[in-house]
A and B are shown apart, each in its own frame.
Chain A
């Protein structure tokens, strides 16, 4: 079970869990006809380094005069949380018409998922007072969101922040997942 902080700070922070975050898939314009496709994720966790977020906030939002925009972030990395029950059945992206691999909860696959022994996934089981069902972060589905947009989202859509150690754990596992090296067969 993970511990969380429910107090919302103004700035974006590593380990923040936010709801209803939009990911713009594409914007297409032709002959004056515009098409925008976006996916709304019910929950995401912020994975960008906290020092980068702190610097961005200081340079962008604080009244303190800064010599440049050197520390501005263009985007913030997040990864979606999926309901573990949907993940077991591979149906968590069914609304996007995508079928994912099934994970048998009663066998080794399921145990490995819940014990965070599968590099791709990070299992989060929350305390009763946090209104989030047991969830899985899929590191393969990370995406970036505009930093200003996400700060605005946080005002109304902040759920909680993973407590220290738990957020470092997810950050470390994400970094490890991204730094995998595929060796030839």
Chain B
């Protein structure tokens, strides 16, 4: 039977941590990420808007 410690890194080799990144750091990364040009140009993300123009006719009825 192999008496080496199963959790000894010399035996199992180095491995990257499987711990999840902290939520806060993920959010920060997302916020700092620059907006891609494609995303800026994506149409259909806005909604119809109403514009009201009010004016006074200088010479009365035209």
Seen from chain A, the residues whose Cβ lies within 8 Å of a Cβ on chain B are 19, 25, 29, 32-43, 80-83, 86, 91-96, 131-133, 135, 159
Chain A's nearest CB lies how many Å from the CB of B54? 5
Q: From known contacts A38-B51, A39-B49, A96-B50, infer whether A33 and B56 are also in contact, taking CB-CB under 8 Å.
A: yes
Q: Is the CB of A32 within 8 A of B42?
A: no
**Measured CA separation A19–B50 after assembly (Å):** 15
Chain B's nearest CB lies how many Å from the CB of A1? 15
- Contacting residues, chain A, for B47 (C-beta < 8 A): 42, 82-83, 86, 91-95
**Measured CA separation A35–B45 after assembly (Å):** 29
Q: From known contacts A19-B43, A131-B41, infer whether A40 and B49 are also in contact, taking CB-CB under 8 Å.
A: yes
B35 at the interface (CB under 8 A from A): no
Q: Is the CB of B48 within 8 A of A37?
A: no
- Contacting residues, chain B, for A92 (C-beta < 8 A): 47-48
B5 at the interface (CB under 8 A from A): no
B13 at the interface (CB under 8 A from A): no
Q: Which of B41, B44, B51, B55 contacts A40 (CB 8 A)?
A: B51
- Restricting to B20-56, which residues have a CB under 8 Å from any CB of A? 38, 41-56
B61 at the interface (CB under 8 A from A): yes
B46, B60, B61: which has the most chain A beta carbons within 10 Å? B46
Could you list 6 further interchain pairs (A-B, Cβ under 8 angstroms) beyond the known A29-B61, A32-B61? A32-B56, A32-B57, A37-B51, A38-B50, A82-B44, A131-B43
